[in-house]
Amino acid sequence: MSKVLISVHMGRHFTKFGQSDLETLLEMGHEVHIAANFRGSLDHYNDDRVVKHQIDFSRNPFSFNNIRAFIQMKSILMRENFSLVHTQSPSGGAITRLALNSCKDIINTKVIYTAHGFHFYKGASWIAWNLFFPIEKHLSKNTDLCITINEEDYVLARTKMFFNKVVKVNGVGIDIHKIMFNKPKDDIILEKLRNEFSIKSEDYVMIYVAELSRRKNQIFLINQIKKMNISKRIKLLLVGTGNKENEYRKLINKEHLSDRVLLLGQRNDISNLLTIADLYVSSSKQEGLPLSVMEAMSMGLPLLLSNVRGNSDLVSEGENGYSFYLDKKNDFETKLNILMESGKHAYGKKSRDLSSKYHESVIRESMKAIYSELTN
């Protein structure tokens, strides 16, 4: 079979998102190589079944380290002469494709690029459109196939760029077996969680699992809880860590919301937390196709998500929940009232039904077809 390289920016990708593609290629019998920056404390990755290449990608796209990364990547490409390269991150993908382009007269390698969310999108900054869009458009000329994971990116890639082919695949897939295995089978566990967070039977519990950051925009939800008349019976569970944690904690304490807005930090019992929730919310300003939302859907949670790229792909309006506009006054509160009055099960069953197309097994079949097309 063929020799294939998966190239990403940081090694953590393989533990969070990239394992499915790697497993698919191995299952198909390919010799699999992986390339990334594995030096960070969160980026160590070992798998005896693959060949690992250290590339000194920098998180800063303008760093001189990326010149070294380009040289390293070109050396690997020339030495290994891969049949196929699948690159999956913006800056790492750019360097990988530039390196491929620089030796295209010597090697004959097909290239797939997965866009997990273009930096340019509806509502993105002038800088994003005038810096990143021209780069991606130029690189698209020498990309055999582009995989997008949401509808907005799919249309943009097909109409505004020069990719030989564009397909849409529904993300990296959710491991439904892992989710159901971790789902609590004992009501005592759930009762302990409710007691831990002082959740009463009359409380309405919303949950948001995301990095505490400007992009994920949890401050919007905190401010909504502060101003809503119905907020006394609402509990908001914010799961995750990030550079906005101290700011959010100070705001919560200042507004006396500590009994209603709970910062839970990093947790390894997400399935349990989703089980005790009534609604999954997201106030994100930008998404690709959020895995946490798909996992919530598979657990039968209704959705109330900001109407941005990626989120909008997962909401079937009025069926499994609603989307809301961040800049439209009272839109969040209006939609929340509808969901609270209807109850969890009215929308939750539809969420679970819709989640089936995002299961990892479905995604892997799509990826097998793509890999077969470019390696045969």
- pLDDT tens string 289-323: 999 999 999 999 999 999 999 999 999 999 999 99
pLDDT surpassing 70 at residue 183: no
Position 89 scores a pLDDT of: 84
Least confident residue range of 62-71, 144-153, 180-189: 180-189
Residue pLDDT, tens place only, 226-280: 988 666 689 999 999 999 999 999 999 999 999 999 999 999 889 899 999 999 9
Please give the Cα distance from 198 to 287 (Å, whole number).
32
Q: Name the H helices within the chain.
A: 13-16, 19-27, 65-80, 90-102, 126-127, 133-140, 151-160, 176-182, 187-196, 218-227, 245-254, 270-276, 291-298, 311-314, 331-342, 344-355, 360-375
Query: What are the C-alpha distances in Å from 277 to residues 176, 309, 329?
Result: 19, 24, 25
Instruction: Considering the chain, tell me which residue range(s) the CATH 3.40.50.2000 domain(s) occupy.
Output: 3-173+359-375, 176-358
Q: Which amino acid is at 16?
A: K
* First-last CA distance in the chain: 9
Nearest Cα to 9, choosing from 46, 57, 44?
57
The yes-or-no verdict on residue 14 having pLDDT over 90 is no
Task: Give the C-alpha separation, 168 to 74, whole Å.
Answer: 29
pLDDT band at 182 (very low <50, low <70, confident <90, very high): low
Percent of the chain scored above 90 by pLDDT? Answer: 70
Q: Are 285 and 260 in contact (CB under 8 A)?
A: no
**CATH number 3.30.450.40 is the correct assignment for the domain at 3-173+359-375:** no
Backbone CA torsion sign across 158, 164, 167, 171: negative
How far from the centroid of its chain's Cα atoms is residue 125's Cα? Answer: 21
Q: What pLDDT was estimated at residue 184? A: 63
CATH of domain 176-358: 3.40.50.2000
pTM: 0.89
pLDDT at residue 232, as a whole number = 65
Instruction: List residues bridging with 115 in a β-sheet.
Output: 148
